[in-house]
Structures are given as structure tokens and as C-alpha cells.
Structure 1
Amino acid sequence: MQSNFYRSAGYATVTLGFLCLGFGLTTLLAGLDFFSVETASPAEVISFLQSNAGTLDLALMSAMVGYLLAVPMMLIITAAAFQGLTTRTLGRDVAVGLVWASLPLRPLWWAAMIVLMPTMLAVSGSSTEPATTAATVVGYQMIYTVLNTATEDIAVNILGGIWFGIVGVMMAKSAGVSRILGVMGVFIGACYVVSSAELFGLSMGTSGEIIPLLAGVLGPFWLGAAGLYAVRKIT
């Protein structure tokens, strides 16, 4: 009975996490092109927020929940990857540590965007001085950039990318489905880590858009597939 409960809870967590990540990121990337506001003019930012406020709120909230649910998903996958070992290993400790280290940073950017949106819309009224609106938008874009670095570059690309690599290598040592998922995990982890190159002043050229897109699209699907496999394996 207890095993059935944990299995059901695991499946629910993995499925909900995947759906939230899928809907939120797909809407923001493909539906709204939200990430272009980082370099948009104040008038373009205000127009974008006014036109997409409801959908944007829902997508941001969905993605934030998905990013948080990724933590238990990653812990479940880690447990399955290292299952069967009779002693603690450095790899497992590092993998678990990376997951927990990313937790405080994961919701920062999403929560800030959700909280700041009403303020941005409030200064977009016709009675607001243009200079005030422009200054508020500049402040918004600065916060956008700083917190996006903490959430995306550090928590997801660096900490998450290394985790993908460690767990992927362990899974690749097995056979069948686990090996396939492991090889894919190592590839996705490399894409995540490379996506953080610009944080260190390294130019990625034309790959600057392709590699992060690969990581952003493949990562949630891998977490969903590996999570379902892991729940079945450990329960």
C-alpha cells in the first residue's frame, strides 16, 4: 500500500512538473517571445505587457511552479540513477547538493516578473510622465537581467547542467532505457553548461541561440521521461 502511494505521488509530481514547464516555457518562448523585452524600448515593453498581461501572468506562474517541481523530479531521478550502490558515493552527494543549491535561485526571476508586472502596468497610464515610465522600464530591465542571470545561468545552466552530466553518466552505465536516457542527459547537460558561456564573457557566435534553445526544449522532456522511468524503478 505504501509503495503504491509513493509511486502515485511520484508520478503526479513528475507529470505536473513536466506540464507546468512545458506550458510555461512554450508560451513564453514560442507564443509570446517574452525574452525579447530585455532589449526592447520602454514603449515596446509597455505595449507588450498591456497586450499580454493575462497570458503572461499564467505562463510565468506555470513556469515558476515547474522550476520548483523540477527539484523533487531531479531528486527522484538521482535516487534511481544511484540505486543499488551499497555505499555513498561522491557523485551522488554532489548531484544531490547541486539540486538543493539551485532551489533558492530557481523562483527568483519568475517571482520578480510576476510581482513587478502590476507596477509596470500602473506607470503605463496616460497620466504618467513619459520620463517616469521610461525610468521604471529601465529599472525593470535591470532587475530582469540580474535575476535572470541568477535563475537561468547559475541555477539552471551551471548547477543544473552539471547535475544532468553526473546523473547522465551514471544512467549511461546501465543498459536499455536507462543507457539511452543517460546519453541524452549528458548531451543536454553539456548544452546547459555551454549556454552559460556568455556569463563569463565568452562568445558563442551563431550557437548562442541554438544551444540554449536545445537545452530549454529538450531539458523538460528529458526530466519528464527520466522522472517517469525513475519513479517506476525506485518504487
Structure 2
Amino acid sequence: MSTGLIILLIVIAAVVVLGAAALIVRGRGRSGGPGLKRRFGPEYERTVALHDGDTKAAERELAERVERHGDLRERPLDGAERQRYADRWTAVQEHFVDSPREAVAEADALIAEVAAIRGYPDGGRYEEQLAALSVHHAEHVDGYRQVHRVARAGTDGGTGTAGTGTEELRAALLGARALFDDLTSAESGRHRAPAGTDRTPATGGAHSHARSHVPWAPHRSRPKES
């Protein structure tokens, strides 16, 4: 085979490789945005807003989250663990009646603990934990963000606490419950039912676990004494 023919074959091979690479890049450009938007839902819109409408910058951030955390595999909870966490969430709801701020802080800490148990970065790395959760629980992660913000209000420098009223605390707790339900569900993947939906309990231990899933709205009134 002559040298000229070898060079020609090398050039043709290089052109084919470059053409294939261009097609891949083009394909990613067409589907990357819609793909990320479908995956992240409201989190996509929130990230775009944080980047002042710059969709390319927002998509770079979201794509980086997927690259870092997309391969994470959640460790399943066994029945006893799910029951224990469900009981603790019920206790948080009951505590809200007398101590709303403390209850919200407890909810924030409980979600961080459950997320760490499921295999996410621990609560001491909140931002990283939140980013990982956003990849796998995008529909409900903002509830955790809100409850964390409210729980932390006033803890750094003592400011902001007075401005957080009971209604805001209640809304934060209700919003965070959807992610808690996701993380403690026996089903893997995304949340299978809207937050606040009353699910038909199964027999045995699942019945008591359903207590944390029924519609709930804490009020500033003490329960009737028996």
C-alpha cells in the first residue's frame, strides 16, 4: 500500500470521526435543554431564575449536578426504619402545636438524617446534599430548602427570627413533608403520590406508617385532653 493511499485513508477516518463528534454535540445541544427541563421540573425554572434568565448557565449547573450525583444509588430502608422515621415525623407534627420553631428545626434535622441514611452527602454538607437530592427528588427538594432556610433564620447572628410567623413555619413544614415522604417511601425513585394524599394503608406495620402521609395542618391550639 502506497504512502499516499495510507494518508488518504487516515484523512477519511479523521473526517468520519470529526463528523460523528459534531453530530453528537449537535444532538446534545438539541436535547440537553428539554431533557434537563423534564428531569428537574420546577428546579429547572428556579435555577434559570437564579442565573437571571441565562438558560445556558443554568443548564451547565444542572448538568454538573447530574454528572456528580446521577449515579447515586439510594440505600433502601427496611420496614423498621421506615416505621421509626414515620413515628419521629408524627412527633414533630405534634410538637408544632406548642413549639413551632423547634418543630421546624427538628424537621430540618430529620430530613438531613434520613437523606444521609439513604446514601446522600451528610447534613454537614447541606449544599452538596441539596444538590444531590435535586437530581433524584427534583419535584420536592425545594420544600427541604424552605424548611432549612426557616429553621436557620436567626441562628446566625440572631437576626430574622422575629420575621418568621407561624403561618410561614407551618407552610415550610408542610412543604418539607413531600420530600420526607419520598425518602421514607417503600417505593424507589420519585414520589408516587402527591403530598398530602391519603393512601390506603396495607396490613401490618404499613398501617401505622400511613399516619405520616394523611392530610395534616398544624394549628395553634392544644389537643383535647382525654
TM-score normalised per structure 2:
0.32
Structure that is richer in helix per residue: 1
Higher relative contact order (CA 8 A, sep 6+): 1
TM-score normalised per structure 1:
0.31
